[in-house]
């Protein structure tokens, strides 16, 4: 393929995403599930499929407004270095999204209207991997310091993005993290086989080389107070995430072996990192039931399979999505169709429209043995909310030595922050105004803590905008660019921000 770009590339080449490793092979290890990347020629052919639309709906579909047509065009011409610069212009950590984002941008691609979309996520990953391989990604400390010092609480994607942006604006930045290593859910929530932690570690090393200080094992409300942070810093940013889990309140919830998904995934990640971890929960030799059909549930399934579970059943409370885009889900909104997860391709069983009724202890030892459930058809109101059900099959009994509750997250963990003056919104998130300021002077909040649990890519955009807001607060103006984040965005029925209005 020549370096000349082809405006009809979408007609010349079919979509060919970078494949995953064979499921039978990858379940035997914790290495990343992805196959080695394709040749440069194949990658450039895929980039050439981008139509460079006059109205790039993919960019509008990306919560941080990645300039997707720009870097696809550059890759198609073999200009990888400038493609990386264009990618970093809107995204501090393209490898986070290139490996772990569900890619709503692809659903919004113009080709997705009646064809297969551009392999946007693959291209993003290929560009940043090329940048690391070539040594193009280097620390960028600021040329001057402003004399201001900012504290950020929480080192997930929002906190890390805010820290890098604030540091590049010239402020000194300190990050306080309650875990023993930075990264938030990228560190201990994403399984090693989905995102190798050495990729995170080299970003942390870059941030440290740029001058950002990390204080791990330090929890707000336990080891420090918000008032103390305010006294010692010119501004404080709260990026503590939204890790308060949604529970399942049915009889038998107190039984041993009924646990939330995140402690289970955290334990596995700690073991893979060679860090101390508790003996439980583990899945080896057990019949595992995963309650929740989302990404976290899939990660639980894949982890249990690697741990040697006897069987794994993943239960979804809602109906199985349709195979094709329904009329109620028009392009370019995120596609709501059935897509088999990487975990289900590895094994296990998947069931939909299952309403859990009780956790049972049949031998009286205090540990769960069985899940009692029913298969239902839900009756919904005009807003799509479940209001009643028709039982299609009752008396379901599923063997369950270990139940993993992966029903999502409800709100940030604010109960023990020791800051009663911090206003909390009706949905449990930290209340902020349009400038991302909280009810406490000089204290700001962003990411899931302020918007509710959402996608990793939203967190990066929130972190970038949090940095801009704090910079304006400290300096009166800011040269930091805004993202496409929309503060008053409507929420979809499943709790994710709608992309309506994101452009």
Q: What is the DSSP string of 278-305?
A: -S-S--TT-EEEEE--SHHHHHHHHHHH
Q: Please state at what angle helix 68-76 crosses helix 40-48, rounded to 10 degrees.
A: 130
- What average pLDDT does this structure show over 103-120? 95
Of 190, 197, 176, nearest to 274 by C-alpha is 197
pLDDT, position 492 = 35
- What average pLDDT does this structure show over 290-310? 96
Question: Can you give the residue ranges of every domain in the chain?
Answer: 9-134, 149-243+409-475, 247-405
pLDDT, position 497 = 40
Q: Is the peptide bond before 332 cis (omega within 30 degrees of 0)?
A: yes
pLDDT at 188 exceeding the cut of 80:
yes
pLDDT digits (tens, 9 = 90+) for 353-405: 999 999 999 999 999 999 999 999 999 998 888 999 999 999 999 999 999 99
pTM of the shown model: 0.93
Whether residue 368 contacts residue 361, with contact meaning beta carbons closer than 8 Å, is answered with yes
Q: What is the mean pLDDT of the chain?
A: 93
| Position 53 confidence tier, pLDDT thresholds 50, 70, 90 | confident
Helix (H, G, I), strand (E, B), or coil: what is residue 219? coil
pLDDT digits (tens, 9 = 90+) for 305-346: 999 999 999 999 999 999 999 998 999 999 999 999 999 999
- What average pLDDT does this structure show over 181-206? 97
pLDDT, position 483 = 75
Q: Which CATH architecture has domain 247-405?
A: 3-Layer(bba) Sandwich (3.50)
Q: Which CATH architecture has domain 149-243+409-475?
A: 3-Layer(bba) Sandwich (3.50)
pLDDT, position 4 = 56
Helix (H, G, I), strand (E, B), or coil: what is residue 456? helix
CA separation for the pair 275, 269 (Å, rounded): 9
- What average pLDDT does this structure show over 41-60? 92
DSSP 112: G
Q: Do domains 9-134 and 247-405 have the same CATH topology?
A: no
- What average pLDDT does this structure show over 475-479? 96
CA separation for the pair 170, 144 (Å, rounded): 6
CA 102 to chain centroid, in Å, comes to 8
- What average pLDDT does this structure show over 416-433? 94
- CATH number for domain 9-134, candidates 1.10.1060.10, 1.10.3720.10, 3.40.50.360, 1.10.10.10: 1.10.1060.10
- What average pLDDT does this structure show over 228-255? 96
Of 218, 67, 70, 241, nearest to 162 by C-alpha is 241
Which two three-digit tokens encode residue 244?
A: 């308060």
């Amino acid at each position: 393929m020549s370096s000349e770009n082809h405006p009809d590339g979408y007609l010349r080449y079919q979509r060919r995403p970078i494949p995953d490793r064979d499921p039978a092979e990858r379940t035997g290890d914790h290495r990343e599930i992805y196959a080695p990347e394709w040749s440069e020629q194949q990658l450039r052919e895929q980039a050439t499929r981008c139509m460079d639309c006059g109205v790039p709906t993919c960019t509008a579909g990306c919560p941080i407004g990645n300039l997707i047509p720009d870097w696809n065009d550059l890759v198609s011409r073999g200009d990888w270095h400038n493609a990386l610069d264009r990618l970093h212009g809107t995204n501090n950590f393209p490898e986070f999204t290139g490996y772990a984002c569900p890619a709503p941008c692809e659903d919004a691609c113009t080709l997705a209207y009646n064809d297969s979309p551009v392999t946007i996520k693959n291209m993003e990953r290929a560009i940043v991997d090329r940048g690391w391989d070539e040594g193009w990604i280097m620390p960028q400390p600021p040329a001057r310091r402003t004399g201001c010092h900012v504290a950020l609480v929480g080192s997930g994607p929002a906190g890390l993005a805010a820290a890098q942006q604030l540091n590049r604006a010239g402020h000194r930045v300190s990050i306080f993290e309650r875990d023993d290593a930075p990264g938030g859910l990228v560190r201990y929530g994403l399984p090693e086989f989905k995102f190798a932690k050495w990729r995170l570690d080299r970003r942390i090393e870059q941030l440290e080389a740029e001058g950002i200080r990390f204080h791990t094992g330090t929890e707000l409300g336990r080891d420090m107070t918000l008032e103390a942070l305010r006294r010692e810093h010119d501004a404080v940013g709260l990026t503590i995430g939204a890790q308060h889990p949604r529970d399942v309140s049915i009889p038998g919830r107190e039984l041993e072996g009924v646990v939330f998904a995140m402690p289970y995934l955290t334990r596995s990640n700690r073991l893979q990192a060679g860090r101390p971890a508790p003996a439980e929960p583990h899945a080896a030799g057990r019949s595992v039931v995963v309650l929740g059909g989302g990404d976290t549930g899939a990660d639980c399934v894949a982890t249990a399979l690697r741990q040697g579970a006897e069987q794994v059943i993943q239960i979804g409370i809602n109906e199985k999505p349709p195979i094709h885009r329904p009329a109620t889900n028009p392009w370019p909104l995120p596609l709501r169709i059935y897509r088999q997860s990487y975990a289900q391709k590895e094994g296990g069983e998947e069931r939909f429209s299952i309403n859990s009724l009780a956790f049972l202890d049949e031998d009286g030892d205090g540990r769960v043995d069985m899940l009692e459930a029913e298969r239902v058809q839900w009756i919904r109101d005009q807003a799509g909310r479940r209001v009643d059900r028709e039982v299609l099959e009752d008396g379901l009994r599923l063997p369950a030595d270990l139940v993993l509750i992966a029903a999502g997250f409800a709100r940030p963990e604010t109960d023990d922050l020791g800051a009663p003056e911090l206003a909390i919104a009706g949905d449990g998130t930290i209340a902020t105004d349009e400038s991302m300021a909280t009810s406490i002077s000089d204290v700001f909040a962003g990411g899931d803590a302020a918007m509710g649990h959402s996608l990793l890519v939203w967190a990066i955009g929130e972190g970038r905008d949090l940095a801009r807001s704090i910079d304006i607060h400290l300096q009166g103006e800011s040269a930091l660019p805004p993202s496409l984040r929309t503060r008053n965005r409507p929420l979809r029925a499943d709790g994710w921000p709608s992309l309506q209005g994101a452009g």
